[in-house]
Every structure is written in C-alpha cells, then in structure tokens.
C-alpha cells in the first residue's frame, strides 16, 4: 500500500521524500563517491520538504534549448549506454558517483534528470550537501519529457475551439522540433511502442555553445 501511494505522489514530492531518506543514510555511511566523506547537516536535511527542492519545468527547458540559452548545465544521470541511446539535447552525461569529481561549479545552475527518482534525489542531495546551491531537478524527469514534449497526447476532442486548436498546433510543432510526434487516440508512450527519436536539431536554429569553463567560486 505504501509503495502504491508513494508512486502516485507528484514527482517533486517523491524526490523530496527520497532526498530525506538518502540524507539520513548518507549521514551514517558517508559519501558514496570517490571523494572524502561529505559533512552532513542532518538537522538541516531533516527539515527538507518538496517545496525546498527547486525544479525546472520541461516546457521551460525546451524553450531554453530552442532559444540557445547556455547559462545552465543539463546533466543526464543515467548510464553511458542509456545516454547514447537517447538524451535531451544540450545535456551531458555525468553519473551520480562522478558528480563531485566533475567540473561542475558551485555557482552554476545545474539541472539534473534521470529516468528514476532515486538517482535524481541522490544527485540533488549530494550536490546540496556540498553547497552546490544552484542544483535543480527537471520536474518529472525523462519520463515527463517523453510524454509531454516528444509524444504529447492530443486532448482536443472531436470539436476543438480556436484556443484548443492553437494549443494543439504549438504542441505538435514543439514535438516535431525535438523529433517526436503528437499522439492521438489511446496510444500510450512506452519503450516497446514508441521509438525514441534520433538526436538531431534543425539546421535553421543554431544553439550557442559554451566550453563550460569552470567559473571562479566564492568562499
């Protein structure tokens, strides 16, 4: 019953609960990365609530990518094999156990995503424990990106009004931009039913690139 209720919670609330649990575990066994033991303020993390976990909306991220924003780092936490199979454009692959050994800076905006809440919660917790105050999660992770950006479902009905038609057209355009396709009827998104698109951005829109030089960090 607990697992069922937990699975039905909103993504950020699930991650908030997991972050608290992981914080308690980390306080007892130390940092699982190759770096030295992380100092944990157990009292501080015991007070963590879902609203304390900053998140980025998938539509905002899509807009950033389309407009070539480069003032953030998008981190895919999955395995190298999963990352190569499909990843959100502009992302870089840094697995959880490598986060603190990477070139991520504490004063950067870091957006984390994965295909499971545990990895995302662990990554967010590790960064926050090490004072990476710009750590965010992608709300809903890869699954929500897949369901609402790549393969959004048409909910206009048989007689849509002008506003619904406009919204449908915008979703279809966004989906097409990222290589996906609007769903109709009862087709559900699943790995065995929907083939993830090849990563290819339109040639008409050039994304600004950054070498990700490590910024000078404060004290």
In this structure, how many other beta carbons lie within 10 angstroms of the beta carbon of residue 167?
16
Q: In this model, does residue 182 exceed pLDDT 90?
A: no
Task: State the pLDDT at residue 135.
Answer: 95
Three-state secondary structure call for residue 124: helix
State the Cα–Cα distance between residues 37 and 195, nearest whole angstrom: 42
User: DSSP label at 136?
Assistant: E
Cα 87–Cα 99–Cα 207 angle in degrees, nearest 5: 40
Q: In this model, does residue 214 exceed pLDDT 70?
A: no
Where does residue 94 rank: exposed (0-12), middle (13-18), buried (19+ CB within 10 A)? buried
pLDDT grade, residue 195 (50/70/90)?
low
Task: State the pLDDT at residue 167.
Answer: 83
Q: Which residues pair with 110 in a beta bridge?
A: 73, 135
The token duo for 52 is 């304390």
Tens digit of each residue's pLDDT (9 = 90 or more) over 39-96: 555 555 555 555 667 899 999 999 999 999 989 999 999 999 999 999 999 999 999 9
Q: In this model, does residue 1 exceed pLDDT 80?
A: no
pTM: 0.70
State the Cα–Cα distance between residues 55 and 60, nearest whole angstrom: 11
In this structure, how many other beta carbons lie within 10 angstroms of the beta carbon of residue 145?
22
Query: Sign of the CA dihedral 37, 41, 44, 47?
Result: positive
Tens digit of each residue's pLDDT (9 = 90 or more) over 124-180: 888 988 889 999 999 999 999 999 999 998 776 677 788 878 888 899 999 999 999
User: DSSP label at 117?
Assistant: H
The token duo for 60 is 């905002």
Residue 113: which H helix or E strand, with range? strand 110-113
Asked if residue 201 lies in contact with residue 207, where contact means CB atoms within 8 angstroms, the answer is yes
State the Cα–Cα distance between residues 127 and 12, nearest whole angstrom: 17
Q: In this model, does residue 205 exceed pLDDT 50?
A: no
Q: Which residue has the tokens 């994965």?
A: 114
Q: Across 76-80, 113-117, 169-173, 198-202, which has the greatest mean pLDDT?
A: 76-80
């Amino acid at each position: 019953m607990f697992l069922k209720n937990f699975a039905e919670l909103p993504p950020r609330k699930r991650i908030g609960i997991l972050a608290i649990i992981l914080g308690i575990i980390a306080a007892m066994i130390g940092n699982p990365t190759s770096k030295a033991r992380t100092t944990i303020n157990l009292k501080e993390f015991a007070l963590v609530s879902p609203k304390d976990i900053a998140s980025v909306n998938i539509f905002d991220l899509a807009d950033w990518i389309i407009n070539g924003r480069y003032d953030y780092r998008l981190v895919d936490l999955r395995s190298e094999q999963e990352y190569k199979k499909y990843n959100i454009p502009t992302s870089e692959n840094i697995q959880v156990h490598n986060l603190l050994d990477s070139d991520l800076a504490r004063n950067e905006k870091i957006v984390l995503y994965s295909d499971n809440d545990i990895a995302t919660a662990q990554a967010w917790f590790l960064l926050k424990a090490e004072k990476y105050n710009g750590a965010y999660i992608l709300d809903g992770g890869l699954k929500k990106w897949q369901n609402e950006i790549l393969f959004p479902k048409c909910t206009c009905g048989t007689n849509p009004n002008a506003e619904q038609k406009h919204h449908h057209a915008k979703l279809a355009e966004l989906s097409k931009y990222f290589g996906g396709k609007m769903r109709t009827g009862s087709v559900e998104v699943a790995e065995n039913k929907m083939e993830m698109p090849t990563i290819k951005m339109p040639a008409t829109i050039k994304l600004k690139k950054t070498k990700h030089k490590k910024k000078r960090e404060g004290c």
